[in-house]
Amino acid sequence: MTKVGFIGLGSQGQPMARRIVDAGFPLTIWARRAAAVEPFADTAATTAATPAELGAASDIVGICVVADADVTDVLLRPDGVLAGMDAGGLLMLHSTIHPDTCRLIADAAADRGVAVIDAPVSGGAPAASVGRLSVMVGGTDEDVARARPVLETFADPLLHLGPLGSGQVAKLLNNFVFTAQVGLALDTFAFADRLGIDRALAAQVLAGGTGGSRAAGILAASGFDLSGLRGAEGLLRKDVRITLEVAAGAGTEAPATLTALAQETLTTLASPPVAG
């Protein structure tokens, strides 16, 4: 059976890896913090001492760390995954990163006979836990087909967008629009206040009507508490920045209205909460 490695056991990566091992795939994990591997003590997963050791034990390796620098570190450092991985292996990049980073990693991996797909995910820990993550994939048909049995342990839907980097472009578009929708939702609920409409009731109207959005639903479910979104501001800012860079590299402009709303959201989330 295909041997799988997984690095990035955070709030989303942990249930993804759990789905893989629970499906019966031999799983090797590695984390910088010992606490991150403790939830797997009741599984058949093996813990590697280094990323290279994980690579040597795996046919397919999933990477779900935070940012471009984290991905390149665990893969390309002297004791990184690629240092131990055999020719014929396959990397799945689940992190939301620049498509150029995917191509840089693919070039380095090709020198060792290792293939790469990008497969960023959306949906969060609840969706991961029940195998309902939206997974956007870029890569060759052959490589995606090899990865599919592993991806399908946590993916529904699994969307093959095109060549390497295509999954990242789709995920960045999603995150860019979501960030803009947060700003739109904040403006909408503030407008509801000024119109004398209870914002909780306004949220129910939007949810049952045509004006709703995922962002508005998240705000309403939190009781209009921005603390969770404030905690994600750095990640949203990263993704908006990369989206604008990708647009510039493609010789096109991001929509002005969406860009303004996204920047407004980031400014709001970066500002100290208003007392009272």
**Helix and strand element counts for the chain (H, E):** 14, 9
Query: Domain residues of the chain, as ranges?
Result: 4-164, 169-270
pLDDT at residue 4 in the model = 98
Length, in residues, of the chain: 276
209/232 Cα distance (integer angstroms): 28
pLDDT at residue 26 in the model = 98
pLDDT at residue 272 in the model = 86
CATH 3.40.50.720 for domain 4-164: yes
Q: Parallel, antiparallel, or unpaired for β 90-93 and 60-63?
A: parallel
pLDDT at residue 104 in the model = 98
Q: What residues form DSSP beta bridges with 160?
A: 137
pLDDT at residue 273 in the model = 80
Architecture of domain 169-270: Orthogonal Bundle (1.10)
97/54 Cα distance (integer angstroms): 22
pLDDT at residue 201 in the model = 97
* Integer-rounded Cα radius of gyration of the chain: 20
Mean pLDDT by 10 residues, the chain (276 residues): 97 97 98 95 97 98 97 98 98 98 98 98 96 98 98 98 98 98 96 97 96 95 95 96 98 96 97 72
pLDDT at residue 266 in the model = 98
186/253 Cα distance (integer angstroms): 25
Catalytic residues: 171
Q: What residues form DSSP beta bridges with 63?
A: 7, 93
The residues, ordered by sequence, that sit 6+ positions from 12 with a Cβ below 8 Å of its Cβ are 64, 121, 124, 125, 128, 133
Q: Which whole-number Å values give the CA distances from 150 to 11, 22, 74, 135, 204, in the listed order? A: 19, 11, 21, 12, 38
The model's pLDDT over 150-183, given as tens digits with 9 standing for 90+, comes to 999 999 999 999 999 999 999 999 999 999 999 9
Q: Which whole-number Å values give the CA distances from 267 to 91, 170, 216, 234, 263, in the listed order? A: 36, 24, 18, 11, 6
pLDDT at residue 275 in the model = 57
